[in-house]
Structure 1
Amino acid sequence: MSDAEWAVVRPLLPAPGWLRGRGGQPEAYCHRAMLDAVRYLVDNGTKWRAMPADFPPWDRVYAFFRRWRDHGLVKEFHDRLRSKVRERAGRDPEPSAGVIDSQSVKADAVVGANNRSFDGGKLVNGRKRHAVVDTLGLLLGG
């Protein structure tokens, strides 16, 4: 993550409990390093245990991600960034329209037949996923 990206992202992150006087210990790893690790994982599609040694230990990164996901912070973080992008584009922070689209994704042979089907229009044997985006193409739901 570049310094410019971090300058935008940092104010959006929730403050740790120990900084807000709720007790606990300071976290052992920087939030920036944790976010870099999660971004690397998403970008490269690797497994948690296959994370390079340049990042904090995979189990710490996973615990960080899981805690944020379980408390709804990942969705909140995404929504805040989407609002900022929309404002910079001269739009209202909250979208007033959405577009529903689907995508057929090929499934591996190990995926059971009860979890996949055949898309006759695209001739793809796999799964179909749906997404709702705003008029700028930013994800609203999936």
Structure 2
Amino acid sequence: MVTDTLGLLLVVAVIAANIGDRDAATGLLGGVRRLHRAITLVWADGGYTGDLVDWCRQRLALTLDIVKRTDDMKGFVVLPRRWVAARTFAWLMNSRRLARDYEICPLPARR
């Protein structure tokens, strides 16, 4: 999922569970580049470090800025730009139809 700075969805990809986020990011970021040519900076969390940063710069002309927690942070700390994606997930979960984590089974029990 890629959002703009307001948290509005730009690109969404649904992938198989056996594909890692970093591997799937190449296709997703390629879609961002094709659909939204004006975007030049993408913020991501620490799971997207490594070769992906260089790949984005060389192949897509995108700057992939990794927002990491530092080791000296204790407890809950709001990290810059990370709250945008979390807020988007909260908006999506407001619609009960999109909820995927029911605490009880929504179907009647079979006997």
* TM-score interval (norm. to shorter): under 0.3
- Choose between structure 1 and 2: higher helix proportion: 1
The TM-score with structure 2 as length reference comes to 0.28
The TM-score with structure 1 as length reference comes to 0.24
